[in-house]
Amino acid sequence: MALLEVAEIHSFYGKSHVLEGVSLEIGEGELITLLGRNGAGKTTTLRSISGIVRPKSGAIRFEGKDMIGREIYEIARAGIALVPEHRGIFGLLSVEENLRIAVRDGWWKLSDVYDLFPRLYERRRNGGNALSGGEQQMLAIARALLNNPKLLLLDEPTEGLAPVIVDEIVKVLIDIKRTGMSVLLVEQNLAVCEKLADRHYVLEQGRIAYAGSAAEFAADHSVRDRYLALNG
Ligand SMILES: Nc1ncnc2c1ncn2[C@@H]1O[C@H](COP(=O)(O)OP(=O)(O)O)[C@@H](O)[C@H]1O
Ligand SMILES: [Mg+2]
């Protein structure tokens, strides 16, 4: 049984039909990337899984349990954590306060995320609003880990970051994957996706246009030309 199974979901903003039957699966311990051009529906897919957007039809099952119609906090408690595009950190709280309010019993402790992100330890007394973009992203990921989820949803974690910081985030994601965490990564940077993913999905206009293993994707350059050319 897949850890997460998304089957034919249809999601809307008002009357605008954004997801037109999206299906995907994530197995225990897998890191999957969801690719696609701007506006394809990637963020809406993550919002639908985490309950911020409620699909009108279709099914979302997590560990075999139905998730559609549940409250956001119930979905979080079931073990799904979203790191949103705009990171959602509290600017007026210190780094450590941001982390402490996220802690939930489980495997990841404050000291573990400080080991993973030494930079956050150095900055622990700084305000959230005094961090660089890369540090904010690290803080957002650290907070999600302290929720001790089974599935981590990441929305473009490297967007707008300098290449050295992107490399740091990639290293951290490799470490997170090694712990056995399942990850659904939305990412526009193909090099990042290829370093991390077991499998890829490509969304196009609210539908899954391609699904393949890392090896199949690497060998099939036509996929890039057809669906991703604008992203380089
Ligand atoms: N809050 C919203 N209200 C109305 N339309 C939205 C909203 N958010 C996104 N959309 C539209 O839904 C489509 C998919 O958006 P999104 O899921 O953000 O795509 P992606 O993350 O792939 O760039 C786009 O056409 C976008 O304009
Ligand atoms: Mg998006």
Q: For 89-120, how does the pLDDT look when each residue is reduced to its tens digit (9 = 90+)?
A: 888 899 999 999 999 888 899 999 999 999 99
Q: Is 141 among the domain residues?
A: no
Output the pTM of the full model: 0.95
Q: What is the pLDDT of residue 230?
A: 54
Nearest atom in ligand 1 to 36's CA: 22
The protein residue whose alpha carbon is closest to atom 1 in ligand 1 is 13
Q: Is 213 among the domain residues?
A: yes
User: What are the C-alpha distances in Å from 5 to residues 37, 59, 124, 145, 209?
Assistant: 23, 8, 37, 21, 17
Residue 111 near ligand 1, beta carbon < 6 Å? no
> For ligand 2, a single-atom ion, which residues have Cβ within 5 Å?
42-43
Number of structural domains found in the chain? 1
Distance 13 CA to ligand 2 centre (A): 14
Nearest atom in ligand 1 to 85's CA: 21
Q: Report the DSSP beta bridge partners of residue 10.
A: 20, 57
Mean pLDDT on 122-132: 92
Q: Is 157 among the domain residues?
A: yes
Which residue range(s) make up the domain with 10?
4-79+149-231
